[in-house]
Amino acid sequence: MAAHESLFRPGIPQFEKITIESMIPALEGRLLSCNSRFQTLEDKIATGRQLTWHEIFDPIDEIDIELLAVWGPILHLFGVQNSPELRKVYEHCQPKIVEFGLRMSQSRLVYKAVLGLSESAEYSQILNSAQRRIVDLRLLDAKLSGIGLEGAKKDRFNEVSQKLASISMNFSNHVLDSTKAWSMDLRDLKDVAQLPQRVLEMASSEFNKFHNSHESSAEKGPWRFTLDGPSYLAFMDYSPVRSLKESMYRARLTIASEGSWDNSGLILEILNLRAEKAKLLGFESFAEMSLASKMAAKIENVGTLLEDLRSASYTHGMKEHQDLIAFAKGHGADYDIQEWDVPYWSRIMKEETYHFNEDELRPYFPMPKVLTGLFSLVSRIFAIEVKSADQEAAVWDKDVHFFKIFDKRSSKHIASFFLDPYSRPQNKRGGAWMADCVTRHVKDGVPSIPVAYLICNGTNPVGQKPSLMSFNEVLTLFHEFGHGLQHMLTEVDYFGVSGINGVEWDAVELASQFMENWLYDTRTLKELSGHYETHEPMPVEFIHKIKSAKNFRSATAMLRQIQFAMIDMALHHGFDPNKDSLLEVQARMARLSSAFPPRPESRFLCSFSHIFSGGYSAGYYSYKWAEVLSADAFGAFEEVGLENESKIQEVGLRYRSTVLGKGGSEHPMKVFNDFRGRGPQTTALLMHNGLAL
């Protein structure tokens, strides 16, 4: 094995040794060996003998694991340590990855062998459910990868697949660069009136960091505000200066929509290529093709869900809007309320209604304490113990932490994870996500230990203060940890359906959204909160207020997500990029779900990374689909009583062994039934959002 390749072995990456220069030689060397292994498999199949399950899938798993040992760290660093040099590596490597992936998925020899296996006695009499599931998923993946195409159609399908991968990468880079390029430096104290001290500290630190100076102080400025989440949201929530908020709002609304970063053309190209890809495979639309591998299965099922939730939320949402306008007018707003006014007046209305503000909570949510509380929660409901192990793995940034998870019943080390908690707008893409670093599989009778990447973009520590988290940042952390638990607590031995592998996309948010529900449990809130200076527990009245305020403007939030999901489906089913207008689709959905008339200058689609460079194309509805599952799953805990410790542990272990343990080894509807004893119902979701009739 070449020296470069030796840096990329299966397992936890050697981040302290990996260099930009090592990446391309390592990937190209690994691709050579993987191609050779795959050829060996095809040659064995070509002899005409029907291969067993292990003879087919063991080599495929080994190839996937070996290739991901190189591509995985490159892909990960592309998201968390982006740089011009790394982009060049990514642009060079991605087409090669796509090409090899197509070779594997379009192999007629392998397809024939898997199809033969599916019709054999081994499939019906010997294989377990996880193995049969892998066979079924492989056949579906082959179909969706163009196995039935020949000649010019196959060539065009592969060309489209390559183009889509390249364009999606460009889309993502444009969003990152455009977001990073905009900033607002303020020097007048009146411009930052009403902004809390911690926001001024953050903006001052950002100014000094960006300008490489020590000129700024929190008290005197200058202050730098950006479109990065923590900065943007803080300014919109607290600033009374409407002109500055309008400027910031419009900048956010038009990210990646101008000049060399304009994604408008890329969107149309993506939609055209996706539609063409679907038609090559015989589907009416890309949405129809996407749903072929999802739990919802049919477009009408998605439409029914979205309309049911929209109709249940719309009247409530419009009333919430009128109540906000009346409140603002009653507090001296002598102007028409616009979108950029809503965060400010919503915050004040919430504070007056529930007699607390979000910034009062932050001192009680220092990240170390929040982590302690999170780990305590999963310890008592899932029988695991999380321990810090910072010195046991190399990291890519000084703020990254490493942890190990142990099974309390056996004391065995069963999983690990990296946590990258803070915003780095200079080189880290926005949002939050979980990604697999090592996926559980069994080789020579020994299971590998799964490892996850948990990535957030939370508030940075300032000076000697730890990160003081907003409640929403705590929610985000719990959300991503839920994804991580499904990856890390899997009990499946087969790579293809271990953890979140093989889980239908619209069910994958179940485990993440489930965890969010615990933040409204009194015991959990007590355990994860404590003043960062005095260590005093959060006052009981604050806990009551958090729970009381849970559904403040919940219908508005519901309608916002539904609008995004409806736009996504409309663009991927029945939309003709050559004839129809993107803005009209956006406007039509806004009229159905928003209190504000469509804003003609809005270009938010240009930064809608979820559907144009992420995995949510024709799948954004998945958040709501899975939220039905997650709310109903949490209902099982509520039904036994959240204070009933023995019953909670009993239900928690059942949840661990089904939803978390089975992963993709069975269809998510069966997994849910195994846990809940019945199919999912929407009642819990509407009740949790205060929208039940």
Which residues form the catalytic set?
480
Answer for the pair 399, 422: CB distance below 8 angstroms, yes or no: yes
Tokens linked to 348: 């004040």
- The single residue listed with the structure tokens 């909570």 is 361
Rounded-to-integer distance, Cα 103 and Cα 154, Å: 11
DSSP for residue 408: T
Answer for the pair 24, 89: CB distance below 8 angstroms, yes or no: yes
C-alpha pair distances (Å), 328 with each of 335, 345, 347, 522 = 9, 6, 11, 32
C-alpha pair distances (Å), 428 with each of 93, 256, 458 = 20, 16, 12
Answer for the pair 139, 179: CB distance below 8 angstroms, yes or no: no
Please name the residues in contact with 451: beta carbons below 8 A apart, sequence gap of 6 or more.
12, 415, 416, 417, 418, 436, 437, 438, 488
Rounded-to-integer distance, Cα 367 and Cα 477, Å: 10
Answer for the pair 129, 121: CB distance below 8 angstroms, yes or no: no
Alpha-carbon torsion 652, 656, 659, 660, what sign? Answer: positive
Tokens linked to 347: 């915050």
Q: How many CB atoms lie within 10 A of CB 81?
A: 16
Residue 654: name the closest of 489, 544, 539 by CA.
489
Backbone angles phi, psi at 122, to 5 degrees: -60, -45
3-state class of 502 per DSSP? coil
What would the DSSP string read from start to end of 513-577? Answer: HHHHGGGG-HHHHHHH---TTT-PPPPHHHHHHHHHGGGTTHHHHHHHHHHHHHHHHHHHSS--T
Residue type, 565: A
Answer for the pair 665, 500: CB distance below 8 angstroms, yes or no: no
Residue 347: name the closest of 472, 197, 518 by CA.
472
Q: Which pairs count as long-range contacts for 242-246, CB under 8 Å and 24+ apart, including other chains?
A: 242/335, 242/340, 242/341, 244/184, 244/186, 244/191, 245/340, 245/341, 245/344, 246/338, 246/340
Span between the terminal Cα atoms of the chain, in Å:
65
Rounded-to-integer distance, Cα 422 and Cα 136, Å: 40
3-state class of 633 per DSSP? helix
Rounded-to-integer distance, Cα 228 and Cα 51, Å: 53
Strand partners of residue 568: none
